[in-house]
Chains A and B, each alone.
Chain A
Amino acid sequence: ETGVTQTPRHLVMGMTNKKSLKCEQHLGHNAMYWYKQSAKKPLELMFVYSLEERVENNSVPSRFSPECPNSSHLFLHLHTLQPEDSALYLCASSPRRSSRDTEAFFGQGTRLTVV
């Protein structure tokens, strides 16, 4: 248990559906992240939020829409996804520090399948 909780753990959705992934952390961290892990690929950073403000969008298609209502919660809203979007979506958090110690704590991930 890393202190970062993701729900749901598994999600199957059709291409016309709208769904949301949820992430929650109570570690007192100020930065939260969405990563994507596709089969046989490295983890890819999607979005970074620092103090509830989006500071980076790593060229992610608009069918993925993040939301960070407060420093403990992060959502990823999904709509009109494609089958190639099927992947493991991981949320992470870290203290917002200016120097090193950029260790991130990950949730268990949501395994998403788009049919």
Chain B
Amino acid sequence: DQQVKQNSPSLSVQEGRISILNCDYTNSMFDYFLWYKKYPAEGPTFLISISSIKDKNEDGRFTVFLNKSAKHLSLHIVPSQPGDSAVYFCAASDGTSYGKLTFGQGTILTVHP
């Protein structure tokens, strides 16, 4: 039973346009959400996070939106750049002391010049 789902395996976007990556979750105990970015042959790197007390968090070109009632979050990248091409993972935590994360399957983003 997958508690965090990224239903789009891949996304292709033109440089300069907006990339929107989506994530759904089923566990209502999740209260902290993160996005990670992964290049081939590297480990995931933290990108941006949001607490359940907020519905939006922005950091430069990256914005994460949280809709708690729909159990849905999204990552917006604008403008998209070719260097953003990577696998993006959504992750969630239920606030335990140990930082245990539950990950989605990932979405491969390709930004075309």
Q: Which residues of A contact B (CB under 8 A)?
A: 2, 4, 6, 31, 33, 40-45, 48, 50, 55-56, 90, 92, 94-109
- Name A41's closest neighbour in chain B (CB-CB): B105
Q: Establish whether residues A100 and B51, one from each chain, have CB atoms under 8 Å apart when the complex forms.
A: yes
> Among residues 1 to 60 in chain B, which have CB atoms less than 8 Å away from a CB atom of chain A?
2, 4, 31-32, 34, 36, 41-46, 49, 51
Q: How far is the CB of B31 from chain A (nearest CB, A)?
A: 8
- Name B92's closest neighbour in chain A (CB-CB): A102
- How many chain-B residues does the 8 Å CB contact rule pick out? 28
Q: How far is the CB of A49 from chain B (nearest CB, A)?
A: 9
B99 — which chain A residues lie within 8 A by C-beta?
A: 31, 33, 94-97, 102-104
Q: Establish whether residues B44 and A102, one from each chain, have CB atoms under 8 Å apart when the complex forms.
A: no
Q: Establish whether residues A50 and B98, one from each chain, have CB atoms under 8 Å apart when the complex forms.
A: yes
Q: How far is the CB of B42 from chain A (nearest CB, A)?
A: 5
Q: Establish whether residues B46 and A31, one from each chain, have CB atoms under 8 Å apart when the complex forms.
A: no
> Among residues 77 to 113 in chain B, which have CB atoms less than 8 Å away from a CB atom of chain A?
89, 91, 93, 95, 97-106
Q: How far is the CB of A110 from chain B (nearest CB, A)?
A: 10
Asked whether A2 and B51 contact (CB < 8 A) given A45-B101, A56-B98, the answer is no
B2 — which chain A residues lie within 8 A by C-beta?
A: 42
